[in-house]
Amino acid sequence: MLIIYEKSTGKVLKSQSGSQRSINSALERLSEGQGALVGDFGDPRGKKVVNGSLVDDIERLQELTKAKVISTRNKLLKESDWTQLGDAKVNKKTWGKYRQELRDIPQNTKDWTKVVWPKKPQ
């Protein structure tokens, strides 16, 4: 596997698998300021290069986790939209509180790996 990264930040720009020929071709096309690692790596998402090694990029992991949390929150809101319709036979106040707590997650979350999810009403 080939990993191309930005030398100044260590940010992984691209990863590719393939033949030695395709890897050599990609190495020849490296831009100024880019570096490369060749080896047997796992999934490089959420990683960066530091001193020639692939390590966890905590900031990037937080970004990826935040995006996943927001996506899940949006899905839960969409799934509960029906509870706010006029003819829905549910406790609208309870469901409204739940939905507001979902909407408040971004403002109330400091660590995206430790989200406090509201309890879904019955």
Q: Which residue has the tokens 């939209």?
A: 81
* Secondary structure (3-state) at 9: coil
Residue 16 has what pLDDT?
Answer: 87
Q: Taking residues 50-79, what's their average pLDDT?
A: 92
φ/ψ region of 83 (left if φ > 0, alpha if ψ in -120 to 50, else beta) reads alpha
What's the rounded Cα separation, in Å, for the pair 75 and 78? 5
pLDDT at 63: 87
Alpha helices in 2-117 (DSSP H): 20-28, 58-79, 92-103, 105-108
Q: Is the pLDDT of residue 44 over 90?
A: no
In the block, which residue shows the tokens 């290069």? 49
pLDDT of residue 33: 94
Q: Give CA–CA dist 12/6, Å, rounded.
A: 7
Q: Mean pLDDT score of the chain, rounded to an integer?
A: 92
| CB neighbours of residue 105 within 10 Å | 19
Domain chopping of the chain, boundaries: 2-56, 60-108
68, pLDDT greater than 90: yes
- Radius of gyration in angstroms for the set of CA atoms belonging to the chain, rounded to a whole number: 22
Tokens at 113, concatenated: 């790996």
Looking at residue 72, what is its pLDDT? 97
